[in-house]
Amino acid sequence: MAEIRLAHVSKRYGQAVALRDVTLVVRHGELLALLGPSGCGKTTALQIIAGFLVPDEGEVWAGDRLISSPRAVLPPERRRMSLVFQSYALWPHMTVFQNIAFGLELRRLPRDEIARRVAWILEVVNLGGLGNRYPHELSGGQQQRVALARALVVQPDTLLLDEPLSNLDAHLREQMRFEIRRIHTETGITTVYVTHDQAEAMVIADRIAVMNAGRIEQVGTPPEIYDAPQSHFVASFIGQANCLPGTLVGPALVRCGGLQLRAADCRAFRPGDDVVLCVRPPAVRVRRTAGAAAGDNLTVGRLVQRAYLGDLEDLRIALPGGVVVRAFVPAGQRYEPGEELLVELPADACRLVRP
């Protein structure tokens, strides 16, 4: 059982607080992404899981085994964990085969067992036939696959990945996301994946833990995080969102500037509460005003800016009371800046979070 559990973990570097009371479960066999902006504490959390850093407070458990606390830390080499960093850190004087086999040789496995395992993992990472190449004879993506293979071949209970794709160009990064997802599906190793790239986390992860300033803001599947953000930070960090500050004035009714808007689910709030109403740009509906009827969450706005994105247009529309919202609409509508448009913020797409 390789479930990893952090319970109330805190870590400071002098005055700087890197982790504040972090509680998190990485389930057996899942790939969990730690996602957040630079400096939010992702690497610190990973290093504590790996055993390279000691928590100031709290505990880390692997299954029913306590592996870190301020009093005692199980050394990294006894955790059955493999770590992959941004830099591939391959040995330049060793072939691909030798790089991957090294960890197995340290464990004194028989030669034929080593050959069998290296051949298996080379197939898993799609490098079959390249065992005799040296790292300088490989592309960046291939080198990163070797680093992954080297981490996986020892069959760890847990795989820890710290921004493993950030040295690759944008195109290769995108390809490798799908590769990492496929490799995880094939191996089923419990994995923690650190990234600041939300698209990467959405593609790769079973669940995402969104971090901000040393805290976990929300944990959930990619659709849960995207469709039901629980904080202003999560709504604005994951994808684009129109975040309109307002006040709850009645059941499910919010006043935002000059607008009264119905929202999806207000059970967590009471009338009078300050809230932020979040609505994604693709959910905003736009049409020409002529002949349009009035209705809930409908208002007239003026197009202030339009950007062509190929299959979509990104519109910025000023609504009454100075609120500007973004709407993504199919390209080809030919709305002109200055034009009056009817804008609908559908109630079921309007989510409330705390300011």
Binding site for ligand ATP (CB under 6 A): 13, 16, 18, 36, 38-44, 196
Our CB check for ligand ATP shows the closer of 18 and 234 to be 18
The smaller minimum CB distance to ligand ATP, of residues 13 and 52, is found at: 13
SS3 state at 123: helix
Q: What angle do CA 236, 238, 240 make, to 5 degrees?
A: 60
Secondary element (H or E) of residue 178: helix 170-187
**Smallest distance, Å, CB 19 to ligand ATP?**
8
Shortest Cβ 192–ligand ATP spacing (Å): 12
Query: 194 or 315: whose CB is closer to ligand ATP?
Result: 194
Cα distance between residue 49 and residue 68, in whole Å: 8
CB of 79 to ligand ATP, least distance (A): 19
Distance CA 92, CA 143 (A): 11
> Helix, strand, or coil here: 226?
helix
User: In angstroms, what is the minimal distance from the CB of 255 to ligand ATP?
Assistant: 37
For residue 119, report the phi and psi dihedrals to the nearest 5 degrees: -60, -40
Q: CB-wise, 44 or 68, nearer to ligand ATP?
A: 44
Region of 298 on the Ramachandran plot (φ > 0 left; ψ -120 to 50 alpha; else beta): beta
Tokens of 331: 């390209």
Closest contact distance (angstroms) between CB of 168 and ligand ATP is 16
Measured from the CB atom, the residue of 43 and 95 that comes closer to ligand ATP is 43
